[in-house]
Amino acid sequence: MTPLQRRNLRVYLQYRERSMTVLGLFRANLPIYFYLLFFFGFVGALFYCAGGWRVTSYLAVALVTMLARDIGYFRRATRIWPVLRQVLDWQKVEQLASSEESVK
């Protein structure tokens, strides 16, 4: 399993007995958003030095667009979750989530 696959299975296990929420999925991905904010802040500072607010505003629009896209993905995942939760083999999910082997 790749680290991304294992991480997603661990998120699934968090919602095994409860409903998935957009806020919960956002919280599960919070470390990634901190990295994104750091990256966009750094690049935004460079853009500001090079071209001012106008150039930096394009970067801000890109960040807001990425967040809107992710919220759309999260909304879709929460709508699919009740059916997906019923069809998953939870023993297999637990087994794969705890495995340490990598598959390329």
Q: Could you read off the pLDDT of 17-58 as tens digits, one per residue?
A: 999 999 999 999 999 999 999 999 999 999 999 988 998 999
**H helices, E strands: number in the chain:** 5, 0
pTM of the model: 0.82
Residue 101, pLDDT score:
64
Backbone torsion region of residue 88, taken as left when φ is above 0, otherwise alpha when ψ lies between -120 and 50, otherwise beta: beta
Residue 51, pLDDT score:
86
Domain boundaries, the chain: 3-98
Residue 100, pLDDT score:
75
| Mean pLDDT, residues 68-85 | 96
**10 band by pLDDT with thresholds 50, 70 and 90:** very high
